[in-house]
Copies of this chain bind each other. A is one copy, B any other.
Amino acid sequence: MNTFGNIFRLTSFGESHGEAIGGVIDGCPAGIAVNIDFIQKELDRRKPGQSDITTSRQEDDSVELLSGIFEGKTTGAPIGFIVRNSNFHSVDYDNLKEIYRPSHADYTYQYKYGIRDHRGGGRSSARETVSRVVAGAFAKLALLETGVEIKAYTSQVGPIVLDKPYTELDLNLIESNPVRCPDPVIADKMTAYIREIKISGDTAGGVVSCICKGVPAGLGEPVFGKLHVALGSAMLSINAAKGFEYGMGFAGVGGKGSEMNDAFYVRPDSKLGTRTNHSGGIQGGISNGEDIYLRVAFKPVATILMEQQTVDIKGNETLLTAQGRHDPCVLPRAVPVVEAMAAMTILDYRLLAGL
């Protein structure tokens, strides 16, 4: 189940400390101009060591495209790619070979498979999302010419919450700070919180919000392939995700129908529109042409530099204090991953709709 999507599909491989992370993009439309610089910039937004609030590990994460491209354009053939791993300290993990880190996947992988690559979490590492960012970049390139634009940002870090609706934010400011929050004041608070928690050896979680503009009406395949089902799957598959909501979400379901219904009206361009958008751009599982917006909850990073109770693989209780270089908070680096998953999903559903 390392394949995502229906027509535009990513099959991903690679472990944190293996030879390479990579994948195969199948079903990419032919004739898309491949902008290598753009793909690399997307990877740079995800890479470790990009600021003082991420892990200090340095990895270049340079992608090698192996197939499916001819004279600068996609050919419709599958696009194989690899990103070599480098600058990893496997030795950092030697002490973890025999132990289950709390709230990591060490135990469940060992239990399920009877074997595990313990180095950096192996396959369960968020390093796997490198593949998603590469495939998402191709999806963005394909969507670009259709007028779809996808922007995600950090809307919560630990207890620091950006509670303005996205329509009141300047999304052009997202990349203006390392935490990727479009509100500069909140961004500073988030950054300060991450620095503080990093010093204490602890970690933070949070929420990423994502907006998809320009999605045409008609995308979505009822009843089990509703557009928000696909978006939910996409987001929940990201490491550390604990929740997904779109439109009014959890906070809105306490309202009344008369408050949360979206009245239809005729827009100045004579298309049908809704005066509010509590639906989040999706009705009955099908896009209605309004903005799609969604939120993804990420738990605090499981690796903390503090002593924890745990059990080793022989079944003995023991204590663990992690070492090495880790993210105190994944939110800033999760932003491009959320965008990538959204882009792949929207493109896949365009193709499913025969568009």
Contacts and interface: CB of A to CB of B under 8 A. Distances in A.
Q: Specify which of A12, A67, A354 lies most central, judged by the most chain B CB atoms within 10 Å of its CB.
A: A67
Contacts of A73: 115
Interface in A106-149: 107-109, 111-117, 122-124, 128
Given A113-B30, A284-B109, A223 B202 contact: no
B78 A11 contact: yes
Contacts of A225: 1
Given A220-B108, A300-B255, A115 B1 contact: no
A82 interface: yes
Contacts of A128: 223
Give chain A's interface residue range (CB within 8 Å of chain B): 35 or more
A24 to B, nearest CB: 5
A70 B115 contact: yes
Nearest to A112: B218
A301 interface: yes
A297 interface: yes
A80 B64 CA distance: 14
Nearest to A218: B112
Contact of A223 (B103, B204, B237, B261): B237
B2 A26 contact: yes
Contacts of A203: 256-258
A315 B265 contact: no
Given A108-B220, A265-B311, 20 more contacts: A1-B221, A4-B224, A13-B66, A21-B67, A22-B24, A22-B80, A23-B24, A68-B123, A102-B261, A103-B279, A107-B283, A108-B282, A108-B286, A158-B255, A207-B253, A226-B237, A228-B236, A242-B252, A245-B250, A253-B299
30 contacts: A1-B26, A3-B9, A12-B24, A12-B223, A18-B66, A20-B67, A20-B80, A30-B113, A70-B117, A75-B123, A77-B117, A100-B264, A102-B261, A103-B262, A105-B283, A108-B287, A112-B220, A158-B256, A159-B254, A205-B260, A229-B237, A242-B246, A245-B250, A250-B297, A253-B297, A263-B310, A265-B309, A265-B317, A266-B311, A278-B299
Interface of A: 1-4, 7, 9, 11-15, 18-24, 26-27, 30-31, 64-68, 70, 73, 75-80, 82, 100, 102-105, 107-109, 111-117, 122-124, 128, 156, 158-159, 161, 197, 202-207, 217-218, 220-226, 228-229, 232-233, 236-237, 241-250, 252-266, 270, 272, 274-275, 278-280, 282-288, 295, 297-304, 306, 308-311, 315-317, 351-355
